[in-house]
Amino acid sequence: MIAYVHPEAAAAAALPCWSPVEALDAAALHALQTARLQQQMAWLWARSPFYRRKLGAAGLGPDSVCEPADLARVPFTTKQELRDSLRAAPPFGEHLAADAADVIQMQASSGTTGSPSYVALTRQDAAMWQESSARSLFACGIRPGDRVLHGFSMSKGFVGGLPIFQALQYLGALDIPIGADGGVERLLAAAFDLQPQAIVGTPNFLLHLAEAAQELLGRDVREIGVRRLVVGGEPGGGIPALRQRIQEAWNAPLCELMGGTDLAVIYWAECQHQAGMHMTAPDFIVTELIDPVSGEPKPFDEGATGELVYSAIHRQASPVLRFRSGDHVVVTGTRCACGRRQPMIRCFGRTDDMLIVRGVNLFPSAVQDLVEAMRPTLSGQVRVIADFEGHSTQANLKLLVERAQNEPAGLSLPALKQEIEQRVRGALAVKAEVLLAPHGSIDKPGAAKVKLVWRELPFIEGLQ
C-alpha cells in the first residue's frame, strides 16, 4: 500500500496534473466526496469515542451526514478540543479511531501556538499523505527526476521533514535531506555541489540562504540554476513584495503550498500560473469557507474571504470533522488554465496571529508587506510588539523595524519613522509607534518558523 516511488511516476512527468482527481468536474467530485463521507461517518461512529460523544450531543447519529452539504449540521472541532483529547487519552487522544497496533507512523505539529499535537497514521493514512503531497509538489513544478534541496526543518517530527522527504521520493524526485537545522553553510555547499532543480523551505529562510551565499561565500545563488522555489510553513509566500524579492534573488519562479498536521502534509498548492493555491486533495478532504465571526458557510466566490474548515473523508487513525484551521484566506479565482478545477486561494493570516488594535483586525503579514516594500531604505525585517494580554489592545500598534545595512546618505531617522507610521495608518487604519533597530538586530530565519509577533521588546542597543 505504501510505495517508496509511485510505479507510474516517470510517466506522470508530462501530464498537466499528477492525479485526474484534481480536474474532476463538480458532479463527479460531489459523488466521490459523498461516498467517502458516508464511509468516514460510519468509521467514526464505530471507532471514535470523541466523535461519537460530540455528534450525539448535537443530536446527530451515524446516518445524519450523507453528503457534504450536511456537514453544516456538525459542530466545529477546535484545536483546543484536540489538545484536551490528547491529554485525556495519551499519546494520540480520544479521537484516535484505529487500533494502536495499526499505527505505523506518527508526526507532531510545530507547536508554535501551544503544545505540539501528536498525530497517528495507519498504512492507508501514510499512503494518502504521500499521494496528496506528491500532487501538491507536482503542481508547484517539481518533476520526477528532479534534485530537490530540502530547506524545511528535518527535526522534531515536523511534517515539513520526513513526510516531505517521503512525498518527494514517492514523486520520483531526489530529496537532498540536509534540512534547515543542518545549517546555512551545509545547505549552500550542497546547493552549489549538487545543482538542485528545486528548493523547498519557508520563504524567509530561502531569502536568507540567498543573502548568506553572498555574505559567507561571495557567490550568487543564481549560478545554481534553480528552476522552481517551493515555499510554505508561513504566510510570506503570499506577500507580494517578499515573493518578488525571493524570485529575484534566485532568478526562479516561486510557488506556494499549504497544509497542516491534523489533515495531511500538503493539500493546497500553486501551479505555474501563480494565481493562488489549488486544493489538490478534494477526494481526501472536504473544505468549507466560513465567516470567522458567525461561523456561517460562505461560497468560494472570487474575492471572498473567510476561514477554512476541513473534514477528513479518507482517514483511519486521527480523522477530524469540521476542523477550524484558523487559516484566513482570500479566494483569488475559480478557473485556471492548468486544468485543475478547485478554487484558488491565498492565506493572509491565522486566527492565532490576528491582533485587534482599537477595534481594527490586523494580521502581521500585512505589516510585513508594507515594510518589505520600503527596501532598500529598510532591511525589510519587522516585528509587531504585542506587549499586552490576549489579542486586543486600545493602545497604538508597536512596531520594531530594522534599519538597512547601507542606508541612503542624509537619511533622517525621525522622518523615516514618520513615513512608516503614515504608511501603516493609510493602509491598515491603525496608528503605529515605530522603533528603529540597528541592522542585524532581528534574528535571521532558521529552522523554526519566523514569528512576526513578539510578546515583549527585548533589550536592543541603539534603538531609535
Strands 277-279 and 344-350, how do they pair?
antiparallel
SS3 170: helix
The answer on pLDDT for 81 being more than 80 is yes
Task: Report whether 106 contacts 161 (CB < 8 A).
Answer: no
Look up residue 258 and give its three cell numbers.
499549504
Q: What is the residue extent of each domain of the chain? A: 1-348, 355-454
Per-residue model confidence (pLDDT) at position 111: 55
Summarize pLDDT for 26-66 with one digit per residue, the tens: 999 999 999 999 999 999 999 999 999 999 999 999 899 99
Q: Give helix then strand counts, H and E, for the chain.
A: 11, 21
Q: Which amino acid is at 82?
A: L
Question: How would you class 46 by CB atoms within 10 Å of its CB: exposed for 0-12, middle for 13-18, buried for 19 or more?
Answer: exposed
Per-residue model confidence (pLDDT) at position 448: 66
Helix or strand holding residue 45 (H, E): helix 26-47
Summarize pLDDT for 285-295 with one digit per residue, the tens: 999 999 999 99
Per-residue model confidence (pLDDT) at position 167: 97
Task: Report whether 76 contacts 324 (CB < 8 A).
Answer: yes
For 183-222, the DSSP string reads -HHHHHHHHHHH--SEEEE-HHHHHHHHHHIIIIIS--GG
1-348: CATH topology: Rossmann fold (3.40.50)
Q: Say which residues have a Cβ less than 8 Å from residue 191's Cβ, sequence separation at least 6.
A: 149, 199, 209, 221, 224, 226
Closest CA to 212 of 461, 454, 444: 444
Helix, strand, coil % (nearest 5) of the chain? Answer: 35, 25, 45
pLDDT bucket at 267, cuts 50 / 70 / 90? very high
Task: Report whether 364 contacts 355 (CB < 8 A).
Answer: yes
- Quote the CA–CA distance of 461 and 201 in Å, as a whole number: 32
The answer on pLDDT for 458 being more than 90 is no
Closest CA to 202 of 12, 450, 34, 457: 450
Rg of the Cα atoms in the chain: 22
- Quote the CA–CA distance of 330 and 300 in Å, as a whole number: 9
Per-residue model confidence (pLDDT) at position 428: 87
The answer on pLDDT for 262 being more than 80 is yes
* Long-range interactions of 423-426: CB distance < 8 A, separation 24+: 423/370, 423/374, 424/367, 424/370, 424/397, 424/399
The answer on pLDDT for 190 being more than 80 is yes
Strands 392-393 and 105-108, how do they pair?
unpaired
Q: Which pTM value belongs to this model?
A: 0.86
Task: Report whether 119 contacts 170 (CB < 8 A).
Answer: no
Summarize pLDDT for 303-322 with one digit per residue, the tens: 999 999 999 999 999 999 99
Identify the CATH class of 355-454: alpha beta
Strands 228-231 and 254-260, how do they pair?
parallel
pLDDT bucket at 447, cuts 50 / 70 / 90? low
Closest CA to 187 of 160, 222, 213: 213
Query: In this predicted structure, which of 111-125, 303-317, 354-368, 389-403 has the lowest mean pLDDT?
Result: 111-125
Task: Report whether 395 contacts 431 (CB < 8 A).
Answer: no
HSE at residue 143, side-chain half, CA atoms within 13 A, is: 13
Q: Which amino acid is at 135?
A: R
Per-residue model confidence (pLDDT) at position 452: 86
Per-residue model confidence (pLDDT) at position 115: 65
Q: Report the pLDDT averaged over residues 161-187.
A: 95
Question: How would you class 390 by CB atoms within 10 Å of its CB: exposed for 0-12, middle for 13-18, buried for 19 or more?
Answer: exposed
* Long-range interactions of 285-293: CB distance < 8 A, separation 24+: 285/132, 285/310, 285/311, 285/312, 285/313, 286/33, 286/37, 286/68, 286/71, 286/310, 286/311, 286/313, 288/71, 288/72, 288/322, 289/329, 289/331, 290/324, 292/328, 292/351
Task: Report whether 461 contacts 124 (CB < 8 A).
Answer: no
Per-residue model confidence (pLDDT) at position 89: 93
The answer on pLDDT for 117 being more than 90 is no
Mean pLDDT of all residues in the chain?
A: 92
Per-residue model confidence (pLDDT) at position 28: 97
For 240-258, the DSSP string reads HHHHHHHHHHHTS-EEEEE
Strand ranges inside 285-372, DSSP E = 285-290, 297-298, 305-312, 323-333, 344-350, 355-357, 360-362
pLDDT bucket at 446, cuts 50 / 70 / 90? low
Which residues on neighbouring strands pair with residue 349, listed in sequence order? Answer: 328
% of the chain beyond a pLDDT of 70: 98
What torsion, rounded to 10 degrees, do the Cα atoms 79, 81, 86, 88 define? 170
% of the chain beyond a pLDDT of 90: 72
Place of cell 510553513: 233
Per-residue model confidence (pLDDT) at position 114: 53
Summarize pLDDT for 203-227 with one digit per residue, the tens: 989 999 999 999 999 999 999 999 9
pLDDT bucket at 168, cuts 50 / 70 / 90? very high
